[in-house]
Chain A
Amino acid sequence: MTQLPAQTQKKLGLVIDLDTCVGCHACVISCKGWNTENYGAPLSDQDAYGANPSGTFLNRVHSYSVQPLATSAKPHPAAQTIHFPKSCLHCEDAPCVTVCPTGASYKRTEDGIVLVNESDCIGCGLCAWACPYGARELDAAEGVMKKCTLCVDRIYNENLPEVDRTPACVRTCPAGARHFGDFADPESNVSRLTAERGGLDLMPEQGTKPVNKYLPPRPKDEMPEFDVLAPYLEPVAENPGGFIGWLDRALEKL
Chain B
Amino acid sequence: MHPAPSVIIFTTLSGLGFGLLTFLGLGLPDVTGWTAFWFFVIGYVLAVGGLSASAFHLGHPERALKAFTQWKTSWLSREAVTSVAALLTMALYGAGLVFFDTAWQPLGWIGAALSLLTVFTTSMIYTQMKTVPRWHMVWTPAHFLTLSLAGGALLAGQAFASIFLLLLAGMTTVAMWIIGDTRFARSGTDMATATGLGRIGTVKAFEPPHTGTNYLLREFVHVVGRKHGRKLRLIAGLLAFVVPILLMLLLVTHVTAALAILSHVAGVFAARWLFFAEAEHVVGLYYGKR
Contact = CB atoms under 8 A, between A and B. Distances in A.
A66 interface: yes
Interface stretch (A158-166, A184-192, A201-209): A201-209
B74 A2 contact: yes
Contacts of A25: 209
Given A120-B63, A121-B59, A101 B70 contact: yes
B131 A132 contact: yes
B257 interface: no
B127 to A, nearest CB: 12
Contact of A122 (B1, B66, B131, B187): B66
Interface string B251-290: 0000000000000000000000000000001110011000
Contact of A81 (B132, B194, B206): B206
A203 B193 contact: yes
Given A2-B70, A120-B63, A129-B131, A137 B215 contact: yes
Contacts of A134: 216, 220, 283, 286
B93 to A, nearest CB: 27
B148 to A, nearest CB: 21
B201 interface: yes
Interface string B157-194: 00000000000000000000000000000011101011
B130 A123 contact: no
A125 B199 CA distance: 33
A132 B214 contact: no
Contact of B219 (A55, A103, A128, A205): A128
A53 interface: yes
B177 to A, nearest CB: 21
Interface of B: 1, 57-61, 63-64, 66-70, 72-77, 80, 125, 128-132, 187-189, 191, 193-197, 199-210, 212-216, 218-220, 281-283, 286-287
A63 B206 contact: yes
B206 A65 contact: yes
Interface in A71-121: 77, 80-82, 84, 86, 95, 97-104, 120-121
26 contacts: A2-B70, A18-B197, A57-B209, A64-B203, A65-B204, A67-B202, A68-B200, A99-B73, A100-B70, A100-B76, A101-B66, A101-B69, A101-B70, A102-B66, A102-B77, A120-B63, A124-B58, A124-B67, A142-B59, A202-B193, A203-B189, A203-B193, A203-B282, A206-B131, A207-B130, A216-B196
Interface residues of A, number: 70
Contacts of B283: 131-134
> Which 9 A-B residue pairings sit nearest by Cβ, starting from the closest?
A123-B59, A143-B59, A60-B209, A68-B201, A134-B283, A102-B66, A101-B77, A101-B76, A101-B67
B187 A205 contact: yes
Given A98-B73, A120-B63, A80 B209 contact: no
A120 B1 CA distance: 25
B201 A77 contact: yes
B187 A201 contact: no
A202 B196 contact: yes
Contacts of A131: 131, 283
Contact of A216 (B58, B128, B197): B197
Given A80-B200, A103-B70, A203 B58 contact: no
Contacts of B61: 122
A122 B194 contact: no
Contacts of A233: none
B189 to A, nearest CB: 6
A244 B60 CA distance: 84
A56 interface: yes
B279 to A, nearest CB: 10
Given A67-B202, A101-B70, A101-B77, A140 B60 contact: no
B215 A128 contact: yes
Nearest to B279: A129
B60 A121 contact: yes
Nearest to B202: A67
A28 B67 CA distance: 32
Nearest to B213: A54
A103 B69 contact: yes
A155 to B, nearest CB: 25
A1 B70 CA distance: 7
Contacts of A69: 201-202
A62 B197 CA distance: 13
